[in-house]
Structure 1
Amino acid sequence: MDLILMIIIACEIGFWLFVLLGLLARYVLRRPRIGIVLLAMTPVVDLVLLTAVIFHLQAGGSASFFHGLAALYLGVSIAYGHKMVTWADERFAHRFAHGPAPVKRYGADYAKEAWKDAARTGLAVGIAAGILWMLMTLIADPSRTHALLGVYPILGIWFAIDLIWAISYTVWPRRTPALKT
């Protein structure tokens, strides 16, 4: 298995481990300060991944699709990280601290959230594209970074799909389910 892929997997596991431990400390152990510290460690995981990718390439390694995947992971983590942590926090608060049930969205409210996600995806794509550009500029050897160019179309397709998703829910809103009697 490619070293960078293993680091990406470890960082993804690390991200969710910090989230899980932070929420367990916050709601189950009733240690909110420890929970906040653990949740604040999630961006450190991103720095570890970015540093590993840069070191690998600067040490003479050639970029692979997995280096591009790392850029995509970083873009998603930065753009969607807060939303993912909030999503998990709402569920933990509901389950362990008698917080309100997570809200299900329908109609215009769902469409509005879809547009917010499209904006987040645009941000994630921009961050990933910027990281790819930075890596190619930093290494300055197209023969070693050529594989990164193949990630740009994937970013474009992902953004287009998210735009279509938002448009579709604007034109055909998600209906509120009928109440069962």
Structure 2
Amino acid sequence: MIFLIVGCEIGFWALLVAGLAVRYLLRARRLSNVLLVSVPMVDVVLLAASVVDLRSGAPASPAHGLAAIYIGVSVAFGHQMIGWADQRFAHRFAGGPAPVKAPRTGPAHAAYERGQWLRHLLAYIVAAAVLGVFTLLVGDAHRTLKLWSVMAPWALILAIDFVISFSYTIAPRKRRGI
């Protein structure tokens, strides 16, 4: 399962880079659109493979939990990652504007950090929902307990991220040299 997750991550970036390269280097918009629309299919493959693996009697493992995390992060941050890569490709290969950088100081930075935490929370919720579906499909909550082992450490990370992200609301970063 770990190899499948790694393969899906490689597939995500390979399809993304191929789609953007075809768009900006070859100027083949239709083929680019097909490749870019295929990027979310990587998640579908991972989801389907995980379900098939679990339904076929494979012991539930933290690797299946990592698959759920991968899907949650992809849902919450995937569009943002694609936009990030697209801005850079357009700038580098098509004369597009310089990529927009996230604000680094002040209230705009605080708002950005709160938004990123909300995306993180969404990723967590989606992963928990996927684990819930896995549990229902297996039909044995005891057999799927190991799936859920990934959520406790992630909850701690989410809490730490909350404290850091929302601290900028209370004490915004100031520009250096002022």
TM-score by length of 2: 0.92
- The residue number in structure 2 matching 1:142 is 141
Asked if the contact 1:93–1:99 (Cα under 8 Å) also holds between the matched residues in 2, the reply is: yes
User: 1:1-181 to 2 correspondence within 5 Å?
Assistant: 4-104=1-101, 105-106=103-104, 107-176=106-175
Question: 3-state SS of the aligned residue for 1:56?
Answer: helix
Amino acid at match of 1:37: V
CA distance in 2 between partners of 1:166 and 1:157 (Å): 14
Asked if the contact 2:62–2:148 (Cα under 8 Å) also holds between the matched residues in 1, the reply is: no
Q: How many percent identity over aligned positions? A: 45
CA distance in 2 between partners of 1:146 and 1:7 (Å): 21
How many residue pairs were aligned?
A: 176
Q: Which moved more, 1:162-171 or 1:39-48?
A: 162-171
Unaligned runs of 5+ in 1: none
Question: 3-state SS of the aligned residue for 2:79?
Answer: helix
CA distance in 2 between partners of 1:28 and 1:169 (Å): 40
Per-residue Cα deviation, 1:153-180 (whole angstroms, up to 9, x for no partner): 12312321221221122233334456xx
CA distance in 1 between partners of 2:11 and 2:18 (Å): 10
Output the aligned Cα RMSD. 1.7
Cα displacement (A) at 1:125: 0.5
Asked if the contact 1:61–1:144 (Cα under 8 Å) also holds between the matched residues in 2, the reply is: no
TM-score by length of 1: 0.90
Unaligned runs of 5+ in 2: none
